[in-house]
């Protein structure tokens, strides 16, 4: 096209010129508006937030705990990396372990994003790309998506663009794992943080898509309570068990059962996050959940071995690899519904429904792959009815008889091989002795603590089916295993953030404790009840999701109430909130992002570093993955870390082989800037770590309070947080924390009831000068090593200004 020149033109000369001034102006205005609203890091590549990562990693140093001192990635190996040795490719132990951790993070992120891609395709096929997103009374529809991509999604099609970005970045990250790519640990760490951030985008896409289309609760505080526990399942009815994390196909089963009046005739129950999302399906209007929750992955093998299910349907994630093998022994057909898990079964997606049902009930095939969800909706419940009759007629039994039980317990030679192989080293041998003597109580206690992995059986030289023995002994406990779980509510709404955000930032609401993650608990589900109850009593906001949301509802107090029945469910201090399934974890980070956006009026779109800096210094929040076991738990936690949210894992979490630990004694690393005048200020180490582990609940409790202390706390907020930190340490560890004084800036930071006592300690043990007439701190210690503990009149101890 030739360039237009100024001058006059005839009509003929303008004949082929299309005038679209309105469209051009509109496009320019829109572009200008978007450019003004979008920050510097929209859709960041691997290196775009590297400087922010380096700042975090400078303060929170990676600590590696290798489980193996070799690398066997390529045929140059196996390479010995002990000491200062390098592998054939030049990588050292530090770099290799950082690479291993990054690989686990991006594996977890890929699992969530792959779930999201499958679900989104399915929903777009049903509702179209223009279907509007509906998440409740919020203007910030997708805080993670908006923060990372710079775009506010409004339709299903907009989510497609966000997932495209996530997938492209995950491919680039995976490429760096290849031999001959990245070699430095610090850049593997930066890449791991990038993968964690991507995970929260993928999770958010997954959940807001299903919330919008499947009539799930939309930021609704008082959702219904669903039944949970093996004891809630009626074995006299046909039992249809679903396992996994992707509810897409299961909704068709629910619809078919309702349309054919089967809801009261078939027990539809689930394990893992599919179970939670089943209870969310079509409950926005307050309807009673349409399914029951059996529990977490820890109940998977137990439920199958119980013999109760008649048909098993699996989709994706956290599904045992031996489901088909275990089900085959008990005449339970298995239907796989997702190409991520197919178990070698024939694809019957295009076959006639009657042919599929007949082949499965006659035992011609152990199961089937059915990718047609409409067909699945009919096959699964009808097959469950047929198999229930057949299995009862054939007298299929699963657990040992009383005589077999006695023989199995007496067969034990007490070699302790089972206990050595057990992830939590449960006292199986002593329980066998007690059971052989007629005392079943020890085994009854093990039922809740056992994570159902089956490793004990693999180790047993006498081939005792130990899990079956435990479950046989615990039949009375199992029948009474009936809890409640609140249906997942989805996002924290904008109005709730407006109401509570100021209290979080100032510290008068002491913090958010997010209990998330898997079911690899060291001491059973009761620990989660203890943690949640303690922090709720102290007015922390407790948010739960996924497996933890299930397990926390399994335990009751002496009045027979679960925590869900005892505490309200609004985003306010002292409230217990279940956001939903695994992918709903994105709403927890989303709430922190919203605090910065709504309360502090920070621009969210493409403005990652500023928002993360604000959260790190101002929003008192801590994540707890007490039973973390999966790669997804690693990616969820790492996404929190990049946003500045510390995470504590349980004792098994150390097997992730990497922690991010600060050095509170290194004063230079804890200096921040006053945004009003740019001056540099020394602050205590808060938070002191981004990822660490705790061995016991007693150790964890004071860590939770300490992890919510932030440099920007006002005096009232610091007093409240310091009170909890000191009290929890004295209650659970029996000692005053040795660093409490470092968080004191002025006398008004001290717990009111103990102010005089603590002022005396400051004066006598830490060299502070006190005016006892006014009970006022005049100055802090003069020794250089205690500079970080000196009081200051600066009220804004962070990079951000109010």
d(CA 760, CA 354): 82
pLDDT at 304: 97
Angle at 501 between CA 499 and CA 507, to 5 degrees: 120
Are the C-beta atoms of 44 and 608 separated by less than 8 Å?
Answer: yes
* 112 in Cβ contact with 635 (< 8 Å): yes
Q: 217-226, 595-604, 672-681: lowest mean pLDDT where?
A: 672-681
The closest of 476, 466, 472, 470 to 447, measured between CA atoms, is 470
What is the model's pLDDT at position 671? 87
- Is residue 398 predicted with pLDDT exceeding 80? yes
Helix (H) or strand (E) holding 241: strand 239-243
Instruction: Name the one residue in this structure whose structure tokens are 């640990």.
Output: 185
Percent of the chain predicted with pLDDT > 90: 84
Q: How confident is the model at residue 773 (pLDDT cuts 50, 70, 90)?
A: confident
- All residues at 6 or more sequence positions from 56 whose CB lies less than 8 Å from its CB, including other chains: 193, 641, 642, 644, 660, 690
pLDDT, tens digit, 9 for 90 and up, residues 477-487 = 999 999 999 99
pLDDT on residue 522:
81
CA distance 802 to 799: 10
- What SS3 state is found at 17? coil
Contact criterion met (CB below 8 Å) for 627 and 518: yes
DSSP label of 480:
T
Is-contact 777 770, C-beta < 8 A? Answer: yes
- Say whether pLDDT at 677 is over 90: no
d(CA 491, CA 204): 10
Burial-class residue 569 by CB neighbours within 10 Å (0-12, 13-18, 19+).
Answer: middle
Strand 689-693 and strand 658-662: pairing?
A: antiparallel
The matching CATH number, chosen from 1.10.8.190, 3.30.1330.10, 1.20.120.1750, 3.30.1360.120, for 38-58+66-213 is 1.10.8.190
Q: Is the dihedral of CA 793, 797, 800, 802 positive or negative?
A: negative
Instruction: Indicate if the pLDDT at residue 195 is higher than 70.
Output: yes
> How high is the pLDDT of residue 17?
40
Percent over 70 (pLDDT), the chain: 93
Residue 376's pLDDT is 98
In angstroms, the CA 437 to CA 435 distance is: 5
Look over the chain and give the mean of its residue pLDDT values, rounded to a whole number: 91
Report pLDDT for 772.
81
- Paired with 769 in beta bridges are 779
Number of CB atoms found within 10 A of residue 49's CB: 21
Split at pLDDT 50, 70, 90, the class of 24 is very low
The pLDDT value recorded for residue 285 is: 80
Which of the listed CATH numbers 1.25.40.10, 1.10.150.650, 3.30.56.10, 3.40.50.2030 matches domain 486-779?
A: 3.40.50.2030
- Helices vs. strands in the chain: H and E counts, helices first: 29, 22
Q: DSSP H helical segments within 679-754, as ranges? A: 697-707, 715-732
Reported as a pLDDT band with limits 50, 70 and 90, residue 5 is: very low
pLDDT digits (tens, 9 = 90+) for 307-352: 999 999 999 999 999 999 999 999 999 999 999 999 999 999 999 9
- What is the structure's pLDDT at 37? 81
Q: Is the pLDDT of residue 789 over 50?
A: no
Burial class (CB within 10 angstroms; exposed 0-12, middle 13-18, buried 19+) of 247:
buried
pTM: 0.92
Section 120-135 average pLDDT? 97
Higher local confidence (pLDDT), 141 or 26: 141
The pLDDT value given to residue 764: 92
pLDDT, average across residues 107-135: 97
Once rounded to an integer, what is the mean pLDDT over residues 727-746?
96
Tell me if 38-58+66-213 shares its fold with 486-779: no
- pLDDT recorded at residue 67: 87
- C-alpha 177: how far from its chain's center? 25
Which pLDDT value is given to residue 781?
57
Which CATH fold would you assign to the domain 227-394?
A: Rossmann fold (3.40.50)
| 67, two tokens | 């489980």
pLDDT confidence tier of residue 777, bands split at 50, 70 and 90: confident
CA distances, 667 to each of 265, 337, 671, 787, 791 (Å): 66, 55, 7, 8, 15
Beta-strand ranges (E) seen in 359-467 are 367-369
3-class SS of residue 704: helix
- Orientation of helix 373-393 relative to helix 353-361, angle to 10°: 30
Find where tokens 């089972």 sit: 418
Residue 539 CB partners (closer than 8 Å, separation 6+)? 509, 510, 573, 574
Q: Which two tokens stand for residue 696?
A: 């016991």
User: 496-551 pLDDT, tens per residue?
Assistant: 999 999 999 989 999 999 999 898 888 888 999 999 999 999 999 999 999 999 99
77: confidence class by pLDDT, cuts 50, 70, 90: confident
pLDDT of residue 780: 65
**Distance, CA of 732 to CA of 538 (rounded, Å):** 15
477-510 residues labelled b (16+ CB within 10 A) or e (exposed): bbeebbbbbbbbbbbbbbebbeebbebbbbbbbb
pLDDT at 358 over 90: yes
Which of 284-298, 386-400, 439-453, 620-634 comes out lowest in average pLDDT? 284-298
Taking a C-beta distance cutoff of 8 angstroms, is the pair 354, 366 a contact? no
Decide if pLDDT at 11 tops 50: no
Torsion, CA 587, CA 588, CA 591, CA 593, rounded to 10: -100
Instruction: Check whether 420 has a pLDDT greater than 90.
Output: yes
As a whole number of angstroms, the distance between CA 388 and CA 266 comes to 10
Please tell me which residue, 5 or 744, carries the higher pLDDT value: 744
CB atoms within 10 A of CB 414: 12
What is the separation, in whole angstroms, between the first and last Cα of the chain? 53
Q: What angle do CA 539, 542, 544 make, to 5 degrees?
A: 170
Average pLDDT value for residue range 764-791: 65
Q: Give mean pLDDT, residues 298-306.
A: 96
The pair of three-digit structure tokens given for residue 127, joined into one six-digit string: 């509702």
Tokens 């930021």 sit at which residue?
219
If you search the block for the tokens 């979080």, which residue do you land on?
A: 504
- pLDDT digits over 258-288, tens only? 999 999 999 999 999 999 999 999 998 878 8
Domain ranges of the chain: 1-36, 38-58+66-213, 227-394, 402-474, 486-779
Strands 576-580 and 292-295: unpaired
- The stretch 135-158 carries a mean pLDDT of 97
786 pLDDT above the threshold of 60 = no
Q: Which residues contact 26 (CB under 8 A, 6 or more apart)?
A: none
Q: Are 349 and 274 in contact (CB under 8 A)?
A: no
Binned at pLDDT 50, 70 and 90, residue 568 comes out as very high
The tokens for 92 are 């050292």
Here the contacts of 138-143 (C-beta below 8 Å, separation 24 or greater) are 138/219, 138/491, 138/493, 138/494, 139/494, 140/494, 140/590, 140/593, 140/594, 140/597, 140/598, 140/604, 141/208, 142/204, 142/205, 142/208, 142/590, 143/204, 143/589, 143/590, 143/593, 143/594, 143/597, 143/604
Average pLDDT over residues 189-206: 98
Q: Given this model, what pLDDT does residue 33 score?
A: 40
| pLDDT recorded at residue 446 | 94
């Amino acid at each position: 096209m030739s360039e237009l020149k100024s001058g006059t033109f005839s009509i003929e000369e303008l004949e082929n010129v299309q005038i679209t001034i309105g469209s051009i102006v509109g496009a320019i205005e829109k572009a200008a508006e978007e450019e003004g609203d979008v920050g510097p890091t929209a859709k960041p590549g691997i290196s775009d937030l590297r400087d922010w990562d380096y700042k975090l990693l400078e303060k929170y140093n990676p600590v590696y705990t290798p489980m193996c001192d070799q690398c066997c990635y390529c045929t140059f190996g196996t390479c010995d990396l002990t000491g200062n040795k390098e592998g054939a490719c030049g990588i050292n132990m530090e770099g290799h372990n950082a690479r291993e951790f990054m690989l686990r993070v991006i594996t977890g992120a890929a699992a969530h994003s792959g779930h999201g891609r499958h679900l989104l395709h399915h929903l777009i096929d049903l509702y179209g790309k223009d279907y509007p997103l509906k998440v409740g009374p919020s203007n910030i529809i997708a805080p993670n998506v908006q923060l990372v991509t710079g775009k506010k999604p409004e339709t299903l099609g907009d989510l497609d663009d966000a997932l495209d970005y996530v997938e492209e970045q995950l491919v680039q990250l995976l490429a760096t794992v290849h031999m001959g790519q990245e070699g430095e640990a610090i850049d593997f760490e930066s890449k791991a943080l990038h993968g964690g951030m991507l995970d929260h985008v993928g999770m958010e896409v997954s959940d807001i898509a299903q919330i919008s289309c499947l009539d799930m609760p939309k930021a609704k505080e008082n959702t219904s309570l669903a039944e949970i526990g093996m004891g809630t399942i009626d074995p006299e009815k046909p039992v249809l068990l679903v396992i996994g994390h992707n509810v897409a196909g299961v909704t068709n089963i629910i619809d078919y059962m309702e349309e054919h009046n089967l809801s009261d005739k078939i027990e539809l129950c689930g394990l893992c996050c599919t179970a939670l999302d089943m209870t969310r399906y079509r409950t926005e209007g307050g309807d009673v959940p349409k399914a029951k929750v059996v529990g977490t992955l820890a109940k998977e093998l137990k439920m199958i071995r119980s013999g109760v299910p008649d048909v098993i349907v699996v989709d994706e994630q956290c599904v045992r690899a031996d489901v088909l093998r275990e089900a085959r022994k008990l005449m339970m057909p298995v239907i796989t519904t997702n190409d991520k898990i197919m178990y070698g079964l024939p694809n019957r997606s295009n076959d006639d429904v009657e042919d599929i049902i007949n082949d499965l009930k006659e035992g011609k095939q152990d199961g089937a792959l059915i990718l047609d969800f409409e067909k699945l909706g009919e096959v699964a419940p009808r097959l469950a009815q047929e198999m229930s009759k057949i299995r009862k007629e054939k007298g299929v039994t699963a657990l040992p008889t009383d005589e077999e039980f006695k023989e199995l317990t007496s067969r034990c030679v007490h070699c302790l091989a089972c206990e050595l192989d057990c992830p939590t080293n449960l006292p199986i041998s002593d329980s066998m002795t007690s059971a052989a003597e007629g005392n079943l109580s020890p085994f009854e206690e093990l039922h809740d603590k056992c994570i159902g992995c089956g490793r004990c059986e693999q180790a047993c030289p006498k081939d005792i089916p130990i899990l079956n023995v435990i479950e046989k002994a615990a039949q009375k406990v199992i029948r009474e295993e009936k809890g409640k779980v609140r249906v997942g509510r989805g996002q924290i709404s904008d109005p709730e953030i407006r109401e509570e955000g100021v209290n979080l930032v100032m510290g008068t609401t002491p913090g958010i404790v997010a209990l998330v993650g898997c079911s690899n608990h060291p001491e059973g589900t009761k620990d989660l009840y203890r943690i949640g109850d303690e922090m709720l009593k102290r007015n922390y906001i407790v948010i739960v999701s996924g497996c933890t949301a299930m397990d926390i509802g399994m335990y009751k107090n002496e009045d027979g109430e679960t925590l869900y029945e005892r505490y309200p469910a609004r985003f306010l201090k002292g409230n217990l909130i279940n956001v939903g399934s695994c992918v709903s974890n994105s709403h927890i980070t989303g709430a922190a992002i919203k605090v910065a956006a709504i309360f502090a009026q920070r621009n969210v779109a493409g403005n990652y570093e500023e928002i993360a800096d604000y959260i790190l210094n101002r929003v008192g929040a801590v994540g707890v993955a007490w039973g973390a076991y999966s790669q997804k738990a690693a990616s969820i936690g790492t996404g929190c870390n990049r946003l500045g949210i510390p995470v504590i894992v349980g004792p098994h979490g150390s097997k992730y082989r990497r922690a991010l630990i600060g050095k509170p004694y290194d004063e230079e690393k804890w200096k921040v800037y006053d945004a009003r005048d740019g001056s540099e200020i020394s602050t205590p180490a808060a938070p002191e770590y981004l990822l660490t582990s705790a061995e016991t609940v007693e150790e964890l409790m004071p860590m939770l309070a300490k992890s919510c202390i932030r440099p920007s706390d006002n005096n009232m907020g610091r007093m409240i947080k310091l009170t909890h930190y000191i009290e929890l340490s004295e209650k659970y560890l029996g000692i005053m924390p040795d660093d409490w004084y470092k968080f004191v800036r002025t006398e008004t930071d001290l717990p009111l009831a103990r102010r005089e006592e603590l002022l005396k300690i400051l004066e006598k043990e830490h060299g502070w000068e006190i005016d006892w007439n006014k009970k006022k701190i005049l100055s802090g210690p003069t020794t250089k090593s205690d500079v970080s503990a000196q009081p200051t009149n600066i009220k804004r101890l962070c990079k951000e200004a109010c």
